[in-house]
Amino acid sequence: MSPAIGGTLNRVDGRAKVRGDARYSAEVAVTGLVHAVLVNATVASGRITAIDTAEAERADGVLAVFTHRNLSRVASVPPLLPSLAGLAAPGQTFFPMQDEVIHYSGQPIAIVVADTVERADHAGTLIRVEYAATPSITLLDQARDQAYVPERIFGGLLPGQASRGDVAKALAEAQVCVDATYRFAPNHHNPIEPSASTAVWEDVDRLTIYDSTQGPNATQFTVAALLGLPPISIRVVSHAVGGSFGSKAMIWHHPALAALAARQVGRPVQLALTREQMFTSCGHREEQEQRITIGAGADGRITALRHHKLSLTSRFDDWAEPSLQSPAVAYTSPHYEGIYHLVRGNTITPTFMRAPGEATGMFALECAMDELAEQIGIDPLELRLRNYSDADPESGNPWSSSGLKECYQRASELFGWRDRDSRPRREDQWLIGSGMASALYPVTQPVNPQRARARLYNDGTAVVEAGVSEFGTGVFTAMTQVAADALGLPVERVRFVGGSSDLPNVTAAVGSAGTSAVGSAVHLATTQLRDELIRRAVADAHSPLHGADPGTVVVQDGRMALRDRPDVGETYADMMARTLTPDAEVLGTWTPPPQDAGYGLHTFGAQMAEVAVDADLGVVRVRRMVGVFAPGRVLNRKTAHSQLMGGMLWGLGQALLEATRMDPRSGRWANASLGDYLVAVNADAPDVVVDTVEVHDEVVNPLGMKGVGEIGVVGAAAAIANAVHDATGRRQYELPITLEKLL
Ligand code: MOS
Q: How far is the CA of 320 from the centre of ligand 1 (A)?
A: 14
**Angle separating helix axes 254-265 and 216-227, nearest 10 degrees:** 50
Over range 190-205, report the average pLDDT.
Answer: 96
- Alpha-carbon span 720 to 717, nearest angstrom: 5
Please write the tens of the pLDDT for every residue from 517-539.
999 999 999 999 999 999 999 99
Q: Is the pLDDT of residue 85 over 90?
A: no
How far lies 295's CA from each of 180, 332, 347, 371, in Å? 12, 12, 36, 12
DSSP assigned state of 405: H
Which of 510, 516, 650 is the best mutation target for the ligand 1 pocket, counting ligand atoms within 8 Å of the beta carbon and taking the most?
Answer: 510
- Beta carbon of 140 within 6 Å of any ligand 1 atom: no
pLDDT band at 2 (very low <50, low <70, confident <90, very high): low
Residue whose CA is closest, atom 4 of ligand 1? 246
Q: Are strands 269-272 and 34-40 parallel, antiparallel or unpaired?
A: parallel
- Alpha-carbon span 24 to 278, nearest angstrom: 16
| Alpha carbons within 13 A on the beta-carbon side of 623 | 16
DSSP string, 591-654: PPPPTTSS-B-EEEEEEEEEEEEETTT--EEEEEEEEEEE-BS-SBHHHHHHHHHHHHHHHHHH
The kind and range of the H/E element at 171 are: helix 167-173
Question: Active-site residue 740, yes or no?
Answer: no
The full length of the chain comes to 743
| The ligand 1 atom nearest the CA atom of 709 | 1
Please write the tens of the pLDDT for every residue from 216-255.
999 999 999 999 999 999 999 998 999 999 999 999 999 9
The pLDDT value recorded for residue 84 is 81
Closest CA to 202 of 227, 233, 237, 232: 233
| Alpha carbons within 13 A on the beta-carbon side of 52 | 5
| Range with the poorest average pLDDT among 1-5, 257-261, 646-650 | 1-5
b/e 181-216 (16+ beta carbons within 10 angstroms → b):
ebebbbbbbbbebbbbbbbbbeeeeebbbbbbbbbb
- Beta carbon of 680 within 6 Å of any ligand 1 atom: no
Q: How far is the CA of 245 from the centre of ligand 1 (A)?
A: 6
602, 442 Cβ separation under 8 angstroms: yes
Q: How far is the CA of 358 from the centre of ligand 1 (A)?
A: 11
DSSP string, 176-190: EEEEEEEEE--B---
Closest CA to 350 of 289, 290, 281: 281
Over range 51-76, report the average pLDDT.
Answer: 98
- Alpha-carbon span 463 to 587, nearest angstrom: 12
- Beta carbon of 218 within 6 Å of any ligand 1 atom: no
- Beta carbon of 354 within 6 Å of any ligand 1 atom: yes
| The ligand 1 atom nearest the CA atom of 353 | 2
DSSP string, 477-504: HHHHHHHHHHHT--GGGEEEE-SBTTSP
Q: Is the pLDDT of residue 595 over 80?
A: no
The pLDDT value recorded for residue 559 is 98
| The ligand 1 atom nearest the CA atom of 354 | 2
- Beta carbon of 246 within 6 Å of any ligand 1 atom: yes
Over range 444-471, report the average pLDDT.
Answer: 96
Residue whose CA is closest, atom 3 of ligand 1? 511
482, 526 Cβ separation under 8 angstroms: yes
Closest CA to 459 of 543, 577, 344, 546: 577
- Beta carbon of 488 within 6 Å of any ligand 1 atom: no
Q: How far is the CA of 111 from the centre of ligand 1 (A)?
A: 29
- Beta carbon of 410 within 6 Å of any ligand 1 atom: no
Please give the ipTM for the structure prediction: 0.97
Q: How far is the CA of 511 from the centre of ligand 1 (A)?
A: 5
Q: How far is the CA of 593 from the centre of ligand 1 (A)?
A: 21
- Alpha-carbon span 180 to 177, nearest angstrom: 10
- Alpha-carbon span 350 to 662, nearest angstrom: 14
Which of 286, 351, 354 is the best mutation target for the ligand 1 pocket, counting ligand atoms within 8 Å of the beta carbon and taking the most?
Answer: 354
- DSSP 3-state assignment of 344? strand
User: What order do you get walking across the sheet with 46-52 strand by strand?
Assistant: 101-102, 46-52, 128-133
Over range 205-213, report the average pLDDT.
Answer: 97
Residue 413 neighbours by CB distance under 10 Å = 13
Please write the tens of the pLDDT for every residue from 387-438.
999 999 999 999 999 999 999 999 999 999 999 987 879 999 999 999 999 9
Q: How far is the CA of 714 from the centre of ligand 1 (A)?
A: 13
- Beta carbon of 511 within 6 Å of any ligand 1 atom: yes
Over range 716-734, report the average pLDDT.
Answer: 98
User: Among residues of the chain, what percentage have pLDDT more than 90?
Assistant: 95
- Alpha-carbon span 372 to 177, nearest angstrom: 7
Q: Is the pLDDT of residue 1 over 70?
A: no
Q: How far is the CA of 693 from the centre of ligand 1 (A)?
A: 24
The pLDDT value recorded for residue 82 is 84
| The ligand 1 atom nearest the CA atom of 444 | 3
Average pLDDT, whole number, for the chain? Answer: 96
Domains of the chain, start order: 446-590 (3.30.365.10)
- Amino acid code (one letter) for 711: I
Region of 580 (left: φ > 0; alpha: ψ -120 to 50; beta: rest) is left
| The ligand 1 atom nearest the CA atom of 508 | 4
What are residue 422's phi and psi, to 5 degrees?
-95, 5
b/e 421-458 (16+ beta carbons within 10 angstroms → b):
eeeeeeeeebbbbbbbbbbbbbbbbbbbbbbbbbbbbb
- Alpha-carbon span 191 to 278, nearest angstrom: 9
Q: Where are the alpha helices (DSSP H) in 341-426?
A: 358-376, 380-386, 404-415
Please write the tens of the pLDDT for every residue from 24-47.
999 998 999 999 999 999 999 999
Peptide bond into 334 cis (omega under 30): no
| Rg (alpha carbons) of the chain, rounded to whole number | 27
Among 585, 710, 734, 740, the active-site one is 710
DSSP assigned state of 683: G
Region of 732 (left: φ > 0; alpha: ψ -120 to 50; beta: rest) is beta
The pLDDT value recorded for residue 43 is 98
What are residue 187's phi and psi, to 5 degrees?
-130, 150
- Alpha-carbon span 469 to 515, nearest angstrom: 10
Which of 352, 468, 473, 515 is the best mutation target for the ligand 1 pocket, counting ligand atoms within 8 Å of the beta carbon and taking the most?
Answer: 352
Over range 285-298, report the average pLDDT.
Answer: 98
| The ligand 1 atom nearest the CA atom of 244 | 4
381, 181 Cβ separation under 8 angstroms: no
416, 702 Cβ separation under 8 angstroms: no
Q: How far is the CA of 471 from the centre of ligand 1 (A)?
A: 11
The pLDDT value recorded for residue 155 is 86
- Alpha-carbon span 101 to 15, nearest angstrom: 47
- Alpha-carbon span 636 to 598, nearest angstrom: 29
Residue 145, C-beta contacts closer than 8 angstroms, at least 6 positions apart:
none
Region of 267 (left: φ > 0; alpha: ψ -120 to 50; beta: rest) is beta
pLDDT band at 145 (very low <50, low <70, confident <90, very high): very high
- Beta carbon of 352 within 6 Å of any ligand 1 atom: yes
Q: Is the pLDDT of residue 586 over 70?
A: yes
Closest CA to 178 of 293, 291, 290, 289: 293
What are residue 335's phi and psi, to 5 degrees?
-115, 130
- Amino acid code (one letter) for 311: S
Question: 3-class secondary structure for 197-248?
Answer: EEEEEEECCEEEEEECCCCHHHHHHHHHHHHCCCHHHEEEECCECCCCCCCC
Residue 75 neighbours by CB distance under 10 Å = 12
Q: How far is the CA of 355 from the centre of ligand 1 (A)?
A: 7
What are residue 641's phi and psi, to 5 degrees?
-60, -45
DSSP assigned state of 82: -
Please write the tens of the pLDDT for every residue from 370-384.
999 999 999 999 999
The pLDDT value recorded for residue 423 is 81
- Beta carbon of 356 within 6 Å of any ligand 1 atom: yes
- Beta carbon of 249 within 6 Å of any ligand 1 atom: yes
